[in-house]
Structure 1
Amino acid sequence: MTRTFTCIVCPNGCEITAEYDGARVGAITGATCPKGEDYVRQELTDPRRTIATSVPVDGGGLPLVSVRLNRPIPKKDIFRVMEAVNAVRLQAPVSIGQVVLADVCGLGADVIVTKNVPRA
């Protein structure tokens, strides 16, 4: 089977075509740099994503604070991680970089705060 990707690793946005039989990646064409080929191989064999969302803050100057993962996780685990994140409720103050959930779901990624929220 042939699959086509638009690379998102660098600003070139290469259209990359790959042969894939469900278990083995064959020829990859169209990448103008090695990063594009690596991106397509990973998308075919172990797709990963990051998550950015928000969680409630009690007693803060804002009702919510933005959070994100500090590294990509397997795409298949997104819903499981979101269940864990949706159970979080923070107390103000919160600070940028504060770890909300360490090693979320045992995947080696931390959920971290991306905005300061002072007490109200």
Structure 2
Amino acid sequence: MIEKKQLTCVACPKGCEVAVEFEGNEIISIDGHACPQGEDYAKEEVVAPTRILPTTAVVKNGSLPLVPVKTTKAIPLEVIHDAMSIIGSLEVEAPIKMGDVLIENILDTGADIVATRNLARNL
């Protein structure tokens, strides 16, 4: 059965409204994109959507109770909730430096969870 999906492309600042017709994982047509990245974005969004995951992790003995973290690359949308559960159970010790790898290769996605700011130890 042929399905249709309307997307707002986020591949570039134009924000094109892209229409995709597909059947299963087979793309039939993509219309409305103004640049090649829009076509690639639409294909990925229909066949295998991914996202960068930004969130926070609990810090022990830190100047703040949480440190912002993110994945080093986009991970499959279908594993976001599992990744959030793993990160939610994480507790890291201060001090933390921006770029510190807190979890390697989360859920075998090839993405690490890294700190996105420095956080000093509570004195």
- Category of TM-score, reference length = shorter chain: over 0.9
Secondary structure in 1 matching 2:62: coil
Identity value in percent? 35
Amino acid at match of 1:28: I
Counterparts of 1:86-105 in structure 2, within 5 Å, are: 86-105=88-107
The equivalent position to 2:59 in structure 1, one of 52, 57, 60, is 57
Which residue of 2 is the match for residue 21 of structure 1?
Answer: 23
Q: Displacement, 1:116?
A: 0.6
Structure 1 stretches (4+) deviating beyond 3 angstroms?
A: none
Which residue of 1 is the match for residue 5 of structure 2?
Answer: 3
**Which deviates further from its counterpart, 22-31 or 65-74?**
22-31
**Structure 1, unpaired ranges of 5+:** none
TM-score (norm 1): 0.96
Q: RMSD of aligned C-alpha atoms? A: 0.8
TM-score (norm 2): 0.94
Amino acid at match of 1:86: G
Aligned residues: 120
Q: Displacement, 1:100?
A: 0.4
